[in-house]
C-alpha cells in the first residue's frame, strides 16, 4: 500500500501505517499512575482498552496513524485584565474537525479500494493511547513531557488513528530522545513533569483548566489567567525550534473576553466558540474558569 501517495492525495501533514499490535510496553506506566491515583476522570478505567487495538476493532490488523500539526507559537499572549488566555493549539479551527475530515476521506478511499474493509476511527476522543501507536511509526518519540515529538512537525501535533482489517504496516523503533534536557521540567507551572519522565497530570495547567468542580488554592495559582490549556512545556522544548508551520491559519483568537460569558446560551456559546478545541468542555467550564480568573486579577491588585 502506497502510504506516501495516499498522504499527498488526501492532504495529511503526515501519515504512517503500522501493524495493530498491543502496546504491552506501556502497561506498567499506566498501572503505576492508576496505583498512585493519578488517572484523569476522562481516561478509561480499563487500562487494557488503552493498549489493545482489538478492543476497539476485533478484526484489526493494521493502523493508519495520521498527524495534523496544530497552531503554535514561541511567544505567550500578553496577560490582559478582563480576558482569559488561550493555549496556542486552541486559538484557531479545532484540530479535531480538520483531522476528522481527512480521516473521513481516508475511509472513503479505502472503501473504494477495498470493499470489504472494516475500520474504527479515533481522533483524541477514544480509549486507545494514540501517542503509543505514533511512537511505533518511527516518526519521532514520546518526550519527557509526555507529548509525541514528531521529527519534522515538532510536538504541536494532533494524532488520529484508523484501525483496519487490512494487512500491512511495519513497526519501527522510536526515533529520538530528550537526552539530558530538562527545559520542560524546570518550566512547567505546576511541577507536573519529573526528569525521570514520570508525569503528574493532575498538576498540569492544561488539565486544571478542564477539571470539573472547585479548584484548590494551589490549582488556582497554576491556572492563573488561562481559560484553557497550556503551552509552556512545548514552548521551551528545543525540539520545536525551527520547525516549519504547515497548518493553515484561519482566524486565530488569543484571548477570551470574560464579560458576557455567563449570559451566553449554550447555543450562542457553541456558535461563537465552537470552532475552538478549548470549547469542548462547554460553557459551564469557561464560566467557572472566568470566575477564578477575575479573582486572580483582583488578588494581584492587593
Q: How far apart are CA 149 and CA 134, in angstroms?
A: 10
- pLDDT level of residue 186 (50, 70, 90 thresholds): very high
Grid coordinates representing 54 are 482489538
- pLDDT level of residue 301 (50, 70, 90 thresholds): confident
Residue (of 123, 129, 127, 146) closest to 201 by Cα position: 146
Grid coordinates representing 163 are 484501525
Integer CA distances (angstroms), 217 to 26, 226, 292, in order:
33, 15, 10
Which listed residue (14, 52, 92, 124) is catalytic? Answer: 124
pLDDT tens digits along 194-229? 998 888 989 999 999 999 999 999 999 999 999 999
Mean per-residue pLDDT over the chain, rounded: 93
SS3 percent helix, strand, coil of the chain, rounded to 5, is 40, 15, 45
Listed in sequence order, the DSSP H helices in 74-210 are: 95-113, 130-135, 183-187, 205-208
Q: How far apart are CA 12 and CA 6, in angstroms?
A: 8
pLDDT tens digits along 129-159? 999 999 999 999 999 999 999 999 999 999 9
pLDDT tens digits along 235-258? 999 999 999 899 888 888 999 999
Asked if 124 is an active-site residue, the reply is yes
Instruction: Give me the pLDDT at residue 302, please.
Output: 60
- pLDDT level of residue 21 (50, 70, 90 thresholds): very high
Residue (of 14, 12, 167, 16) closest to 100 by Cα position: 12
Which residues form the domain of 244?
A: 3-301
If you average pLDDT over residues 50-54, what whole number do you get? Answer: 96
**Tally of domains in the chain:** 1
Q: Give the alpha-carbon dihedral of 185, 191, 195, 198, to 10 degrees.
A: -130
Q: Give the alpha-carbon dihedral of 221, 223, 224, 230, to 10 degrees.
A: 140
Listed in sequence order, the DSSP H helices in 210-280 are: 217-223, 232-235, 266-273
- pLDDT level of residue 288 (50, 70, 90 thresholds): very high
Grid coordinates representing 52 are 489493545
pLDDT tens digits along 27-41? 888 888 888 788 777
Let me know the angle formed at the C-alpha of 189 by 289 and 148, rounded to the nearest 5 degrees. 95
Q: How far apart are CA 204 and CA 284, in angstroms?
A: 20
In DSSP terms, 69 is beta-bridged to 157
Instruction: Give me the pLDDT at residue 125, please.
Output: 85
Length of the chain: 302
3-state secondary structure of 244: coil
Q: What percent of the chain has pLDDT over 90?
A: 78
Instruction: Give me the pLDDT at residue 250, please.
Output: 82
Amino acid at each position: 500500500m502506497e502510504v506516501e501517495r495516499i498522504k499527498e492525495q488526501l492532504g495529511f501533514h503526515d501519515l504512517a501505517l503500522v501493524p495493530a499490535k498491543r502496546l504491552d510496553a506501556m502497561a506498567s506506566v499506566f498501572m503505576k499512575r492508576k496505583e498512585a491515583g493519578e488517572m484523569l476522570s476522562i481516561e478509561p478505567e480499563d487500562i487494557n482498552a488503552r493498549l489493545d487495538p482489538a478492543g476497539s476493532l476485533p478484526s484489526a490488523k493494521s493502523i493508519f496513524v495520521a498527524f495534523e500539526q496544530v497552531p503554535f507559537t514561541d511567544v505567550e499572549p500578553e496577560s490582559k485584565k478582563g480576558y482569559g488566555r488561550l493555549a496556542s493549539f486552541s486559538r484557531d479551527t479545532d484540530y479535531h474537525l480538520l483531522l476528522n475530515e481527512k480521516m473521513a476521506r481516508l475511509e472513503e478511499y479505502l472503501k473504494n479500494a477495498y470493499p470489504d474493509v472494516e475500520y474504527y476511527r479515533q481522533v483524541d476522543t477514544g480509549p486507545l493511547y494514540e501517542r503509543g501507536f505514533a511512537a511505533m511509526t518511527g516518526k519521532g518519540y514520546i518526550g519527557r513531557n509526555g507529548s509525541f515529538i514528531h521529527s519534522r512537525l515538532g510536538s504541536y501535533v494532533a494524532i488520529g488513528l484508523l484501525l483496519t482489517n487490512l494487512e500491512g504496516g511495519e513497526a519501527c523503533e522510536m526515533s529520538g530522545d530528550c537526552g539530558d534536557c530538562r527545559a520542560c521540567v524546570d518550566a512547567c507551572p505546576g511541577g507536573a513533569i519529573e526528569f525521570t519522565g514520570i508525569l503528574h497530570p493532575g498538576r498540569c495547567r492544561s488539565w486544571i483548566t478542564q477539571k470539573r468542580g472547585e479548584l484548590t488554592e494551589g490549582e488556582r495559582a497554576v491556572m492563573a489567567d488561562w481559560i484553557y490549556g497550556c503551552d509552556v512545556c512545548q514552548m521551551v522544548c528545543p525540539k520545536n525550534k525551527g520547525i516549519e508551520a504547515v497548518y493553515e491559519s484561519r482566524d486565530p483568537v488569543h484571548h477570551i473576553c470574560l464579560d458576557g460569558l455567563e449570559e451566553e446560551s449554550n447555543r450562542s456559546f457553541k456558535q461563537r466558540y465552537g470552532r475552538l478545541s478549548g470549547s469542548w468542555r462547554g460553557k459551564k467550564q469557561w464560566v467557572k474558569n472566568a470566575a477564578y480568573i477575575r479573582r486572580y486579577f483582583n488578588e494581584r491588585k492587593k
